[in-house]
Amino acid sequence: MHQGAESDSLCLMEAAISPLPDDVEALKALLAAALERADEAEARAANALARESAIEAVIAHLKLQIAKLRREQYGPSAERSRRLLEQMELRLEDLEADTSEDDLAAEVAAASTTNVAPFERKRPMRKPFPEHLPRERVVIPAPCSCPACGGSRLSRLGEDVTETLEVIPRSWKVIQTVREKVSCRDCQTISQPPAPFHVVPRGWAGASFLAMLLFEKYGQHQPLNRQAERFAREGVPLSVSTLADQVGAAVFALMPLYRRIEAHILAAERLHGDDTTVPVMAKVKADVARLWVYVRDDRPFAGAAPPAALFHYSRDRRGEHPQAHLASWSGIFQADAYGGYGELYREGRAPGPVREAGCFAHARRKFFELADVAGAARKKSRGERTGMIYPIALEAVRRLDALFDVERTINGKSAADRLAVRKTLSAPLMTELHTWLTAQRAILSRNHDLAKACLYMLRRWDAFTRFLDDGRVCLTNNSAERALRCVPLGRKAWLFCGSDRGGQRAAVLYTLIQTARLNDVDPQAWLADVLARIADHPAARLDELLPWNWAPRIQVAKAA
């Protein structure tokens, strides 16, 4: 009896301790309630983030107004004050775009709940479109019968006009989409066609205008404040805040394509990698952030996969960033000798090993700088001081150029053909080069620039000989350097990123634009067509909009 009572008491204690019921239906209800609470928490968090972004944008806007008023009252004290205003405008531009992205994220999160309303901010005020712009009326006819009851006794009630600002190269116009509204005399139901699609909800910018805005900013390196000045000169005054609002929403709409390009690149067996500096605005002075690029380009060995470039942004150059970017990838990685990549080459790395392939362009550059005869002659003609020209450096450049000569004859051939030629012609040259570098290193001072150039190759000899074992490996990392060229070309125009979010947004657009260029596609035409189609395009067929699969809507219509 005593043992039975004790077991009963233990069961009661376990039932009291366990909060979960044993009934399956009760568990389902409990899980549904938990999911609903999670959705509401996510929606509230998204609303809070959107509210915070809106407040930051308002503060930045007020600070800019105060700075302009002070400049008008006291006069420009120095050139630095004008540059400071430009910096504040760039900062405001990125904050406005951040707010637009967060608004859309909050709206998506709130749509999955019934108890949380989406955060609504006061959007930038936009003046009516100038009257002198030509109007093109696109009339969507009303239905011939009532959609509710099928009756044909319809009476006209009027029309609603939605104005969309569109641009034809150097010619502006406002498209008026007229949606006729009718009422059924039988059931009194009012019906009207749906409003035209805009990338920005309740927006006004057409797809071609948005594509021009994005390509000018990220492809032609023209910040929004300069674009706004040009638009005003053409008779279309638009504020920077209004334009930034469109940029943030457009990036939000294009993110699925960015993810598809990322997946395509991380499916490659060989990648090129590189990084470059990008100034980003800070409290006291601009910080030096980084833009990383990973390029898939199989064209040198006649690969069938289309080329693509993937950009990432980070606030610094710590090795944890490339490790995070390539956390799920393994294969052959062609890059410079940056130490942050070292963890990728570690034995036993999950999900698989990354094999390093050296860049002969970097190795040759170290010798070429010590053997630049033409450069020394130019400096001497200008009366500038010239450095020494070392015979050892000249010989190293000659030996490396012999390897490049072999590569030029096999570029574009299959990996097997390239490997066969390399075994025959390049392998003996590499054996001789290793012997020669070792001998030169022995007679040079440890701190001499030539010794450092020799050690750069000798310490990474396995990486530099990787191309002798795999025909897919390239001799240089020039594919990544070419993809990154857009950043230093534009730095003098846009000076720096206004924020970290601005840098991340730049990485997305650089990915899309550079990938289009690699596939010989006009980035602006592609963006215009994609922005016009992406809302109605089935998600299962999103790959059709990628640059290497893309066909303009006109061609698709003709084929259909």
Maximal CA-CA distance, the chain: 112
Closest CA to 309 of 190, 478, 110, 534: 478
Separation of alpha carbons 525 and 214, rounded Å: 11
% of the chain at pLDDT higher than 90: 45
Q: Give the per-residue pLDDT at 275.
A: 94
In this predicted structure, what is the pLDDT of residue 1? 43
Residues 523, 52: Cα–Cα separation, whole Å:
34
The whole-angstrom separation of Cα 23 and Cα 555 is 58
Using the predicted structure, report yes or no on whether residue 81 has a pLDDT greater than 60. Answer: no
The pLDDT assigned to 77 comes to 43
**Token pair listed for 268:** 């490659």
Q: What is the pLDDT of residues 223-273, one digit of tens each?
A: 898 899 999 998 899 998 889 889 988 999 999 999 999 999 999 999 999
Can you tell me the mean pLDDT for 101-114?
77
pLDDT-derived band at 80 (thresholds 50, 70, 90) equals: very low
3-state secondary structure of 238: coil
Is residue 10 scored above 60 in pLDDT? no
How far apart (Å, rounded) are the C-alpha atoms in residues 64 and 498?
14
Of all helices (H) and strands (E), which one includes residue 287?
strand 287-296
Q: Assess whether pLDDT exceeds 70 at residue 376.
A: no
Q: CA 100 to CA 84: how far, in whole Å?
A: 25
> Where is pLDDT greater, at 438 or 105?
438
Predicted local confidence at residue 382, as pLDDT: 64
The pLDDT value recorded for residue 15 is 45
Is residue 156 within a helix (H) or strand (E), and if so which, with residue range? strand 154-168
Mean pLDDT, residues 549-555 taken together: 78
- Which pLDDT tens digit goes with each residue over 189-224? 999 998 887 877 777 889 999 999 999 999 988 889
Residue 78 has pLDDT above 60, yes or no: no
Sign of the C-alpha dihedral, residues 534, 538, 539, 541? negative
User: C-alpha distances in angstroms, 394 versus 5, 400, 445, 457, 461?
Assistant: 96, 10, 18, 16, 21
Confidence bin at 7 (pLDDT 50/70/90): low
**Predicted pLDDT at 124:** 61
DSSP line for 394-441: HHHHHHHHHHHHHHHHHTTS-HHHHHHHIIIIIHHHHHHHHHHHHHHH
Contact 94, 244 (CB under 8 A): yes
CA distance 28 to 8: 28
Q: What pLDDT shows up at residue 123?
A: 63
Distance from C-alpha of 190 to C-alpha of 203, rounded to nearest angstrom: 24
Domain boundaries of the chain, sorted by first residue: 18-111, 127-203, 268-490
